[in-house]
Structure 1
Amino acid sequence: MNAAAIKEHLSMLMDLEKEIYTQNQVIASLEYKLSGLPDYRQYVKPVYQQASPHYYDDTAANVAFLCLPGAVLLFVLGLLLYDFRGFFWEIALLAFIVGIIAFFISRLNASDAQHSADVESKKRYDAALKAYNLSVEQDRLRVERERPKKLLLQGQLKTLKDAHKKTVDTLNKLYNKGVIHKKYWGLVPICSLYGYFDTGVCTQLEGHEGAYNKYDTECRLDRIISKLDQVIQRLDEIKELQQDLYDAIEESNCKVGQLIRNSERISDQLSGIQSQGAELNARIANLQTTSDINLYVNACAKRELEYMNRANRIF
């Protein structure tokens, strides 16, 4: 294969690699935006629980606890001493009466304390239930408000993922023509190889003067960056020695920004609309058809078909 045919083949590969990079960036952005539009959130409904009584002064219970056993003890002593009308019986009777009164006062205090605790517990439950119902209703309104935008983003994401799959398939078919060794597949090496042929530095792929050897040498000497993630982080540093790669990423970033801005602009057009069902779907479909993403996807499909036809003629 002559140098011109190899250059043309590398040009098509570089273009498809660039489009895959672009598509990946836009897909990631759309997925991130969708993650900010969740479905109904899960709220835990409050459950009413019987309250424990608050602390209260239980002096009456203490008095009853002391007087009633004391009265029994004094009655027993009175019996043992055969003092049926004397001191022990009188004191025992008095202690018994005081103990009974204190016991009922203690029960009344306990009842009042329990009632107060129940009232406070009911107030807290009612407040929690009100907050729960408010949160659920606000979330329902949010979901309804965001639904048109979410449907649009989901449609755009599906369109782009379908296009991405086709682009990857086309790229693999071109790679599988067997022109480029698998070691040099990818955006970074393909851009470098294309640059060697485009500038006339190399006219063949293999051999001592070939593009493969030159690329390996420059990577080994750290004259160029071979990993894409490092390239993205150090983009300004590659402008001189990896011009084609720099231009491809810059062009891709520009395209990504354009597509995302257009998506946001279309999403803004759906804010606050009241249409539902078929009417909403029709409006979204119309916006989808005229969106930059749809136009971009159609352009990619047309170019990929052209590349396959060209490749089949060359090989």
Structure 2
Amino acid sequence: MAMIKCAECGKEFSDRANACPNCGCPIEYQAEKSIGGEYHAADKLAPSVIVEHLTIAKELESERYTLQLAIAKIQSKINTLGYYNQFTPPKSVSVKKFFITALITLAILIPIYLVIDSPIFVSYLSNLTSNSYDTIDFMNNSVQIKIAISIIGPLCILAFTILNGSISAMRANSKYKNAVQQYNNLVNNDTARVNNENIQKQQLKQQINDMQDKINNISETLNQLYSLDIIHPKYRNMITVIRLLEYFDSGRCTALTGTGGAYNKYEKEIRQDTIISKLDTAINCLYQIRDTQYMLYESLEDCLDELGAITTQNDKLISTNQDISQNSAIAAYNSKIAASNTDALVFIEAYKGANGL
């Protein structure tokens, strides 16, 4: 019989024992320690405890990630609010309309006047209005008609031109006044919209601040949870935690370390590129990971669903000029976060109590 030194507590015990009688460290991990392996205290735990720890970490990591996505989405929305639209004010064209119409009228009436004032037409009118064939009488009649046309014609042209131009100008001015009214309504409505959006921007910024506080609280709870050293620091992130949990949940692993442990299995999959280890990559190719990382797929789907509920209700409240702080989706999600945080703290205290920490 030989004595060996426990790799965990340093006490000596018989190599025929199954575990260190002082701390319970399994005998197989003493051999791993002697050849450079490292015993992890979590391997003394029942798989159910590891699963509970990973499950709580998964929930907290997912909730933190959802809030991070929500903050980015809300910030994008903020960047679109509070900007004035550009409207072109109408221009008065009444004077222009007057002159254009007057010129057109003159262009029509002057040729007519020239025809009427021509000797041929004057003679024709003299014949129509003369009661005798006396040449002198005909000439006198022609002169009178010529004078009448020369006086009345330009006056009629002038009067009709002014009248027609004025009517056109009045119509143009009426359209201008309507256009000004519409322009003022657009500007006033746009100003009211911007004022409302500026209020909404402040509410959204407060929403971001509240979410950041939640993220800080979750991070603090996660730090406390991870400080129990149940899982190695290298694996304390959302994707890895979910993958390790999937190993246990599917029955593929019952321990973290060792040849068939969750750590080795995870490292092997990373080396073989059979799984995605970066969150940004995973979220951008969600359906591609459905078969290989189903639990991560489900978690990200839940994150996106929660995100969709929050942003959709925000958009609805914004479009109806309602108080954004009344977003019931955020209130419900905050309740979920509070429940997860409570579960984590209960687990932490229970674990510390059971292990004398």
Give the TM-score band, short-chain normalised. 0.5 to 0.7
Q: Does 1:243 align with 2:280?
A: no
Q: Over residues 161-213 of structure 1, what are the superposed CA-to-partner deviations in whole Å (9 max), with x where a residue is unaligned?
A: 21111111111211111111111111111111000111111111011111000
Find the partner of 1:261 among 312, 332, 346: 312
Q: Over residues 145-168 of structure 1, what are the superposed CA-to-partner deviations in whole Å (9 max), with x where a residue is unaligned?
A: 323322331232222121111111
Q: Over residues 43-78 of structure 1, what are the superposed CA-to-partner deviations in whole Å (9 max), with x where a residue is unaligned?
A: xxxxxxxxxxxxxxxxxxxxxxxxxxxxxxxxxxxx
- Number of aligned pairs? 209
Query: How far apart, in 1, do the equivalents of 2:308 and 2:326 lie?
Result: 19
Q: Does 1:298 align with 2:349?
A: no
Q: Does the Cα contact within 8 Å between 1:148 and 1:270 map onto a contact in 2?
A: no
Q: Does 1:6 align with 2:50?
A: yes
Higher alpha-carbon Rg: 2
Match of 1:167 in 2: 218
Q: Structure 1 residues 288, 137: closer, same or farther in 2, change over 3 A?
A: closer
Find the partner of 1:309 among 346, 350, 353: 346
Find the partner of 1:24 among 53, 59, 68: 68
**What displacement does 1:310 show?**
1.9
Match of 1:50 in 2: none
Q: Over residues 21-41 of structure 1, what are the superposed CA-to-partner deviations in whole Å (9 max), with x where a residue is unaligned?
A: 111111101111111225899
AA aligned to 1:4 is S
Secondary structure at the counterpart of residue 338 of structure 2: helix
Q: Does the Cα contact within 8 Å between 2:66 and 2:304 map onto a contact in 1?
A: yes
Q: Does the Cα contact within 8 Å between 1:12 and 1:307 map onto a contact in 2?
A: yes
Q: Structure 1 residues 38, 265: closer, same or farther in 2, change over 3 A?
A: closer
AA aligned to 2:63 is E
Q: Does the Cα contact within 8 Å between 2:310 and 2:330 map onto a contact in 1?
A: yes
Which of 1 and 2 has higher RCO (CA within 8 Å, sep 6+)? 1
Q: Mind listing any 5+ residue stretches in structure 1 that lack a counterpart? A: 42-133, 272-283
Query: How far apart, in 2, do the equivalents of 1:203 and 1:231 lie?
Result: 26
AA aligned to 1:216 is E
Q: Does 1:189 align with 2:224?
A: no
Query: How far apart, in 2, do the equivalents of 1:40 and 1:189 lie?
Result: 46
Q: Does 1:211 align with 2:262?
A: yes
Match of 1:35 in 2: 79
Query: How far apart, in 2, do the equivalents of 1:200 and 1:252 lie?
Result: 25
Query: How far apart, in 2, do the equivalents of 1:267 and 1:40 lie?
Result: 16
Query: How far apart, in 2, do the equivalents of 1:305 and 1:17 lie?
Result: 15
Q: Does the Cα contact within 8 Å between 2:224 and 2:348 map onto a contact in 1?
A: no
**Runs of at least 4 residues off by over 3 Å:** 38-41, 136-143
Q: Does the Cα contact within 8 Å between 2:54 and 2:245 map onto a contact in 1?
A: yes
Q: Does the Cα contact within 8 Å between 2:58 and 2:241 map onto a contact in 1?
A: yes
Match of 2:41 in 1: none
AA aligned to 1:295 is A
Q: Does the Cα contact within 8 Å between 2:82 and 2:198 map onto a contact in 1?
A: no
Secondary structure at the counterpart of residue 65 of structure 2: helix
Q: Does the Cα contact within 8 Å between 1:10 and 1:194 map onto a contact in 2?
A: yes
Query: What's the TM-score once normalised by structure 2's chain length?
Result: 0.54
Q: Does the Cα contact within 8 Å between 1:188 and 1:245 map onto a contact in 2?
A: yes
Q: Does the Cα contact within 8 Å between 1:27 and 1:157 map onto a contact in 2?
A: yes
1:125-164 paired onto structure 2 within 5 Å: 141-164=192-215
Q: Does the Cα contact within 8 Å between 2:69 and 2:307 map onto a contact in 1?
A: yes
Q: Mind listing any 5+ residue stretches in structure 2 that lack a counterpart? A: 1-44, 86-183, 353-357
**What displacement does 1:236 show?**
1.5
Query: What's the TM-score once normalised by structure 1's chain length?
Result: 0.61
Secondary structure at the counterpart of residue 270 of structure 1: coil
Match of 1:66 in 2: none
**What displacement does 1:221 show?**
0.9
Query: How far apart, in 2, do the equivalents of 1:305 and 1:289 lie?
Result: 24
Query: How far apart, in 2, do the equivalents of 1:311 and 1:198 lie?
Result: 21
Q: Does 1:176 align with 2:176?
A: no
Secondary structure at the counterpart of residue 224 of structure 1: coil
